[in-house]
């Protein structure tokens, strides 16, 4: 069994997909892009995060398509785009982009204790961190 399939199965077994749409979007991303040289555990974590909703899934799909067409071997361009998108944010979505960048950089993510997230964004970040731990264990 390929790593991407073990990853999907582990996340599914831990019930980390919010719904069937989240599961399907994640599977589509990994199925399409796991064979590219830029596919890493960090990118897989970003895929999980972006697959949570249609809007971010579309952003990820566009970015990955550009990487694939450019024959990129790393996610450096994606990381640069992530920085730009984070700086554009005036809402709690800023922290989601910081989390995504931490995944790409393979560094721990910590929110300052003074940051108070709404229940929606708290859920997104907590679930993504749980999924990241599962992905790291594979």
Task: Please check the confidence at residue 24 and state whether its pLDDT lies above 80.
Answer: yes
Could you give the CA distance from residue 98 to residue 110 in angstroms, rounded to a whole number? 10
Question: Would you state the pLDDT for residue 78?
Answer: 86
Contact criterion met (CB below 8 Å) for 132 and 103: yes
Q: How many domains does the chain have?
A: 1
Mean model confidence pLDDT for the chain: 94
pTM (2 d.p.): 0.94
Question: Would you state the pLDDT for residue 5?
Answer: 96
Could you give the CA distance from residue 107 to residue 64 in angstroms, rounded to a whole number? 21
Looking up tokens 């003074």 gives 114
Contact criterion met (CB below 8 Å) for 111 and 125: yes
Range of the domain at 47: 3-136
Contact criterion met (CB below 8 Å) for 3 and 138: yes
Give residue-wise pLDDT tens across range 25-84.
Answer: 999 999 999 999 999 999 999 999 999 999 999 999 999 998 888 877 888 888 888 888
Kindly state the percentage of the chain with pLDDT values over 90. Answer: 78
């Amino acid at each position: 069994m390929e790593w991407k399939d073990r990853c999907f199965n582990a996340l599914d077994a831990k019930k980390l997909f919010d719904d069937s749409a989240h599961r399907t979007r994640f599977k589509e991303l990994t199925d399409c892009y796991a064979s590219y040289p830029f596919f890493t555990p960090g990118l897989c974590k970003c895929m999980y995060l972006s697959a949570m909703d249609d809007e971010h899934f579309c952003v990820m799909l566009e970015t990955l398509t550009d990487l694939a067409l450019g024959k990129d071997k790393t996610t450096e361009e994606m990381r640069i785009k992530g920085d730009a998108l984070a700086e554009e944010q005036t809402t709690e979505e800023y922290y989601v982009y910081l989390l995504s960048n931490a995944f790409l950089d393979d560094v721990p993510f910590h929110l300052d204790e003074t940051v108070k997230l709404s229940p929606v964004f708290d859920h997104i970040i907590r679930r993504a961190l749980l999924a990241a731990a599962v992905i790291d264990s594979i």
